[in-house]
Structure 1
């Protein structure tokens, strides 16, 4: 049995199909080759860009390192310049001090008698101020302290150097404070205690109505029994009265000693003990009541004085002379 022959149209259709397939395969191959070339070109461009970026980064790092080196060099130069300026400033200050010392030496050499006289006057002022301060602190002599300060002011007025103007003002302020101080409370308290001790001799040793004014039964029993208050029965016998007077004088002496020490608490305690002796040594009377009031007033007297300003002129003089 024989195969029938293929028609020419069928053969042409098959040929066209294979031609189209071959053309499409060629186009696909060309597209693949073109895509591969583009990919390689892109990779090459990226590699070139990365290399260029690395070059730029390296260049920037080099510039930054150079700038840092320059900054360190500038900092070192600034530190060196600052040290040089400090050294020059210290040398300039030293030159100024040496010039001042040379000028002072020249002034002293030009007029040595005047400088010696001023030193003697300042020594005299210092001595007078110290004497005034000690007279007030130790002896309570405010008048003597005022006289010493007045003499110091006269001596200081004889120095015409304007450098001592502040010292004159300080001395004037201290003299004004000393004048406003008034009498020393310690001296006032001691004088009032002395006056009180001297006034005790004027107190009556006995009091009360006489035998005429007493009732008949009291006059009848007066030779046998005498009634006294218990507060006044402590020192009736002569020996006991003498001992009580000695104890009272001792308490007053302790009060005087406390006044000299400016011990207000000790003075009040001694006066309180002295006040307890008065009812035992003297009977009740208006004079004794006045003495008790005087003792109570003595217990309230102040003994301290405000000496905050005292000594400021002397301290300023010594400080100013020490500064040269």
Structure 2
């Protein structure tokens, strides 16, 4: 049997004593903390009401107030400057808008002026062409020339876009259609008949040659014809051989007179010239079928009016002149 005691129980007792001591110390420290009052803070401390402290506080407050006043004045100045700049910018924007409106009006006026100048040129050109067309048709009956001049006038009027010229463009279209509807120019037909007659004259036999080519009659009949000359009533006396050249010159002059009458559209003068031409033809040439046909055709051309009735001729010119007078101040 071992006589020495075990070391384990001895170490266990020492540990228990140490833990108990620590617990006692901790409890004492907690009790002391709970019982001790907390130290007063700066906020809980009583304010310093001494005159020096009050002066310092008043001085500090005045300095802060002066600082705030200066900052407020600076901000107010900045606000005023910003407002002034805003007003200035607004005025500049308004000025720019007004200038832009003025420029736009000027450009519009320039465009209107340019269009008015172009329209004026077109109107003058159309008026000149219409005058030429009327004179060609009225004075000389030149149908092709009247149509060409009216077409040029229609082209000039076609460039007018203003609604006030719409009726005028329609009028020139109707007048041009009326010119084109004319089938044949009576003056041209009459000139053709004169040309055909003049080309036939060298082929016609003379009147005295036709008389000499008759079959020889008996002696008694020749004696009677020598004593008495029988001819139908109204027939002109035959031209003597010595006067034949003068008679041909007179016929040529009558043909030239007829041409002048055609050129001037003088229907009565042309008809009278055709009558005198017929008289000279009876005295100069034998009454052949070719001559009778030409004389009949020429007489029909003389009986017809040289200028056909065309109520719309010149209507566009009258309408244009009326519109110009109405537009004049």
TM-score range, shorter chain: 0.5 to 0.7
- The alpha-carbon deviation at position 143 of structure 1 amounts to 0.9
Aligned residue in 2 for 1:303: 306
Q: CA deviation at 1:233?
A: 8.6
Match of 1:275 among 278, 299, 307: 278
1:152 and 1:310 mapped to 2: Cα distance?
A: 13
Answer whether contact 1:193 1:298 (CA < 8 A) is retained: no
Matched, 1:252 2:263: no
Deviation at 1:198, TM superposition (A): 2.3
**Cross-structure match for 1:25:** none
Residue 153 in 1 paired to residue 154 in 2?
yes
Q: Distance in 2 between matches of 1:183 and 1:235?
A: 38
Aligned to 1:78: none
Please tell me whether residue 188 in structure 1 is matched to residue 186 in structure 2. no
From 289, 293, 296, the equivalent of 1:290 is: 293
Structure 2, gaps ≥5 residues long: 1-104
Paired residues of 1:196 and 1:294 also in contact (CA < 8 A) = no
SS, match of residue 124 in structure 2: helix
TM-aligned CA distance change 1:200 to 1:298, over 3 Å: farther
| Contact 1:135–1:141 (Cα < 8 Å) also in 2 | yes
State the Cα deviation string for residues 106-135 of structure 1 (Å, max 9, x = none): 963553222222222222222222222222
Give the Å deviation of 1:165.
Answer: 1.0
Deviations 1:52-80 (A, max 9, x none): xxxxxxxxxxxxxxxxxxxxxxxxxxxxx
1 CA distance for matches of 2:288 and 2:139? 40
Shift in CA distance, 298/147, structure 1 to aligned 2, threshold 3 Å:
closer
d(CA) in 1 for partners of 2:300, 2:161: 51
TM-superposed CA distance for 1:105, in Å, is 10
The farther-off stretch of 313-322 and 252-261 is: 252-261
Partner of 1:316: 319
Separation in 2, partners of 1:234, 1:283 = 13
Q: CA distance change for structure 1 residues 241 and 175 in 2, over 3 Å: closer, same or farther?
A: same
Q: CA deviation at 1:295?
A: 4.0
TM-score (norm 2): 0.56
SS in structure 1 at match of 2:306: coil
Deviations 1:163-205 (A, max 9, x none): 2111111111111111112343223223322321221111123
Offset at residue 136 of structure 1 (A): 1.9
Equivalent residue for 2:267, pick from 244, 260, 264: 264
Higher RCO (C-alpha 8 Å, min separation 6): 2
Whether the 8 Å contact between 2:126 and 2:157 is mirrored in structure 1 is: yes
TM-fit CA distance, 1:257: 2.9
Alignment gaps of 5+ in structure 1: 1-103
1: CA distance between counterparts of 2:325 and 2:106? 17
Q: Is the 8 A contact 1:189 1:301 kept in 2?
A: no
Give the structure with higher Rg (CA).
2
Pairing of 1:50-89 with structure 2 (within 5 A): none
More off after superposition, 114-123 vs 254-263 = 254-263
How many Å separate the matches in 2 of 1:263 and 1:233? 27
Match of 2:202 in 1: 201
Q: Taking structure 1 as reference, are residues 202 and 294 closer, same or farther at Cα in structure 2, changes over 3 Å only?
A: farther
**After alignment, is 143-152 or 295-304 more displaced?**
295-304
Contact 2:168 2:320 in 1 (8 A): yes
Deviation at 1:148, TM superposition (A): 1.6
TM-score (norm 1): 0.56
1:243 to 2:246 alignment: yes
Corresponding position: 1:139 with 2:140: yes
